[in-house]
Structure 1
Amino acid sequence: MDNQRNMILAIVLSAIVLFGWTALSERFFPVANPPVTKVEDGKEKVLPQPGADPAADAPGAIRARATVLRETPRIAIETPKLAGSINLKGARIDDLVLTTYKETLKKDAPAIRLLSPLGSPAAYYAGFGWTGDGVDAPGPNTVWTASGQKLTPATPVTLSWTNQRGQRFETVIAVDADYMFTVTQKLSNAGAGAVAARPYGLVSRDGVSKDPSSWTLHTGPLGVFNDVANYDMSFDKLNEAGKAGIRFTTTGGWLGFGDKYWLTALAPEQNVPFDAAFRAGQGQR
């Protein structure tokens, strides 16, 4: 059996795309614990520090999926097993259909839709961005420029955006012939002064799984942390945890949302430590 059938979508983050950003901060922004200062012209100056943890933005009015897809600039996703598009507003993978799987056994049944954009029913998407203090980082409303019109296994795409201070942000997205995306985030600083920023990846899901958990099947939030699988989480526990969420510090592993047949997960670089968090947002998010 093809093992990749059990992990329908995994978004693999390269070495600089981490949830915890510990390795990134130590490697690219080698500063001491905050507050960090330096001396310039005999005066002590506080350096900018990374900002708070990222959070998915709140949904607006719910509209038909086709309407929402037309409202934002997009580039196509086309592989032997996937179809959909990348939203250039916010750098999101939020439109994804599994073309080789059907919703029912009927011959004319539609293909399984895994991801849907914010603002449509049952929104479910993966997003990538940056956070930091003292830096004008791209946000959920930032419109990125794409290097091409279509993402295929043979043609990765680079999304780029440059702020007015000379910092250039890039998100390089590649996909294989199965279900694996590789996302690499880069920041180059041509401006004056130091900046401290950290990349993030998130998966946001409205509502809960239609498939209930049982003693033989776990659905909802799950992950592997420090080589141990964690099935002790649930949507109810996320709601109880509130804004603090449920957090993990780990080296290697992954985290995501599972259904009976499908899994959407983030898998950072496996040989570096990172911090991960599950949080409930507005409504059932």
Structure 2
Amino acid sequence: MQTSGGGPGPGETRNVIIAIALSAAILFGFEFFYNAPQRARLQAEEQARIEATQPAAEAGGTETPAPSGPVAREQVLAQSAGARIVIDTPEVDGSISLEGARIDDLNLRDYRRTSDPTSGEVTVLAPRAAEFAHDAFFGWEARAGENTATLADANSGWTVAEGARLTPETPVTLTLVAAEGVTIQRTISIDQNYMFTITDVVRNASGAPVSARPFGTVRRMGLPQDYVRNQIVHQGLIGAFGENNNLRQVTYENANKHIRDRGRGRVGADERIEEMQGQGGWFGITDHYWLAAIIPAQNERVSTYFDARSEGATNDYRAAYRGDWREIAPGAEVTYTQHLFAGAKRYELLRDYQADLSIPRFDDAIDWGNFWFLTRPFFQWLLHPLAQIFADWGVVFNFGLAILASTIVIKLLLFPLVYQSFKSMAKMRALAPKMKEVQERYAADKQRQQQEILKLYQTEKINPVAGCVPILLQIPVFYALYKTLSVTIEMRHAPFVGWIHDLSARDPTSIFNLFGLLPFDVPAFLLIGAWPILYGVSMWALQALSPPPTDPVQAQIFRFLPLLFTVMFAAFPAGLVIYWTWSNTLSILQQYVIMRRQGVETQLDTFLAKRFGKASEAGGVK
């Protein structure tokens, strides 16, 4: 953008203004969609905390009323401690409720709520009577003629051997007397990460055949504790199901709209947000970095749906399914195995589960966005492998170095195009005196002025728009890195050298308290940190190497841009600012060398000569 100026004509001025407007629109768009929601975090959390948690009807059954109003999670767990199975693995801790065999208490050992390593563990699942309730449960329905009844639902009382403890080495087996002569034996196992395997054996010891089918539900009562509305990353109902297992996403906001439409009679009382028939797939509820999803048997014909209902003072969000009917003869049994993923959306882990369990599009639980063909390859083929190399070397801030290294790789890949662009810019700068002469000679005839300038371009074999190429090439990289920083958990709380403890968050320092030297906190809107300032300096230096606009209005605009962009970049993730600053630095070195070889003196040469008291000898120019 800063390289596109060259002439004072109205058409050229218009192009410059359009370029600036588009750039500002992009940056203000990121500010609106990313930074503004972050500033609304406290308000959203407070709103979520006052939401009451009420009971809801389960798929295939009803629930015993829960205590009215939200209750602290610890209190609920303490009250039901005697009816729980402990979960203890290297990655998670928590418990399973014997009421409904609900998996409703799960914490992630390796993830903290903040970048402070002493802060509490991230909680993924919480009991239904607690604040921010979020759970998963599985059951069975029975069919008798046109009627159905539940064999196992969210209230069923399961039993387990005393002292049972779920670890990767020790599965647990629960038993339920579902009906007269019908029992269900459920075995739950967990791997070293976040995948539960649930295997049910339904035995019919009655004298009559039983028709039964499985169901499962992932439910959330109210919004997540740390929920901030964010257009960059999808949060809400998600899954890949239906005939073609297409990815389907419904935000909390759209689910709430469905609830309002139901209340106004615009949709039927029993109409769901979405319901599809198909084979296998997966479905659940996703947060920014966490996912709880059911994976039915991939050969199972299922009816999967999303739904949301108002339950008192809060909303009940659900992703659920029902499987095929099974005919169980007297004395016979059926076995059914399904899975539950509850944990962090780590790319490699999702990809491995996708391959090992044949789960369609499971790694799309990470919101790669509509431009997935940019974001996914950028992360999968460049950023993540580079970070893994540095991690293998024992580097703590491996993703920070990966950002720097990826910039070099991109510069090398684009070097042929950028080299020609910089050569054209150097010629444009050398041509500036002749252009100024033409402008002065034909100051009263703008049309003739433009004609003569075009002749100069043709004579010198210069493409005046070639200088825009470096900026245009940076835009897709800018977006890919921004999206990657925003949605991948690998970037969450990823540290860098110095004061940057989270590459996905803004630079926490501010020039207004001398970067922490003065003992007072600075309001968020005054957080203009060291890295954004370094970015502004790099942008100014890059401008100093570019052909200066001869039009005074354009020149004034360009002089103001580094300051404007410094303020806007202050709200961006630190990783993005580091990338752009490093990219500018490499461009400065690259462009300066090219201009020296072309024998062109730059504003940077002039500035350095004035500051250090000696003439610049760039490319032999004195």
> Which TM bucket (shorter chain)?
0.7 to 0.9
Question: Which stretch shifts more, 261-270 or 59-68?
Answer: 59-68
- Which of 238, 248, 251 is the matching residue for 1:222? 238
Q: How far does residue 59 in structure 1 lie from its aligned partner after superposition?
A: 4.1
Distance 2:258 2:110 in 1: 33
Q: 1:269 to 1:133 in 2, by over 3 A?
A: closer
Matched, 1:253 2:281: yes
Matches of 1:228 and 1:119, distance apart in 2: 34
TM-score (norm 1): 0.75
Deviations 1:138-194 (A, max 9, x none): 333322112451001111111111246111112211100011111112210001212
C-alpha distance in structure 2 between counterparts of 1:265 and 1:173, whole Å: 16
2:256/2:308 contact within 8 Å kept: no
Higher helix proportion: 2
Structure 2 matches for 1:25-64, cutoff 5 A?
53-54=59-60, 57=63, 59-61=66-68, 62-64=70-72
Q: In structure 2, what residue type is equivalent to 1:65? A: R
In structure 2, relative to structure 1, the CA distance for the partners of 1:144 and 1:102 (3 Å cut) is same
Farther off after superposition, 128-137 or 74-83: 128-137
Give matches, 1:89-238, under 5 Å.
Answer: 89-134=99-144, 137-147=151-161, 149-163=164-178, 165-209=180-224, 210-214=227-231, 216-225=232-241, 226-232=244-250, 234-238=254-258
More strand by share: 1
- Give 2:290's aligned residue: 262
SS at match of 1:86: strand
CA pair 180-56 structure 1, distance change in 2 beyond 3 A: farther
Paired residues of 1:185 and 1:199 also in contact (CA < 8 A): no
C-alpha distance in 1, partners of 2:276/2:61?
A: 16
- The one-character-per-residue Cα deviations of 1:105-147 (angstroms, maximum 9, x if unpaired) are 1121001001000111111001111222456623333221124
Flag the 1:230–1:56 CA change in 2: closer, same or farther, 3 A: farther
- How far apart, CA to CA, are the structure 2 residues paired with 1:95 and 1:79? 13
**Which is higher, the Rg of structure 1 or of structure 2?**
2
Equivalenced residues, count: 233
Does structure 1 retain, via aligned residues, the 8 Å contact 2:189–2:197?
yes
Corresponding position: 1:244 with 2:271: yes
- The one-letter amino acid of 1:140's match is A
Counterparts of 2:249 and 2:150 in 1: how far apart (Å)?
A: 38
Give the Cα separation in 1 of the matches to 2:296 and 2:75: 33
Match of 1:275 in 2: 303
- Secondary structure of 1:60's counterpart equals coil
Q: Give the CA RMSD over aligned residues.
A: 2.2
Q: CA deviation at 1:279?
A: 1.5
Q: 1:139 to 1:229 in 2, by over 3 A?
A: closer
Q: Distance in 1 between matches of 2:233 and 2:78?
A: 37
Indicate if the aligned counterparts of 1:208 and 1:220 stay in contact, CA closer than 8 A: no
CA shift at 1:276, angstroms? 0.5
Length-normalised TM-score, structure 2: 0.36
Any conservation in 2 of the 1:243–1:280 contact (CA below 8 Å)?
no
Where structure 1 has 5 or more consecutive residues not aligned to the other structure, the ranges are 1-51
For residues 138 and 272 of structure 1, the distance between their equivalents in structure 2, rounded to whole angstroms, comes to 19
The C-alpha deviation readout for 1:48-67, integer Å capped at 9, x for no partner, is xxxx9536746432322222
Cα deviation, 1:202-256, whole Å, max 9, x if unaligned, reads 1110112413241x31110111122321135542354246532121112232111
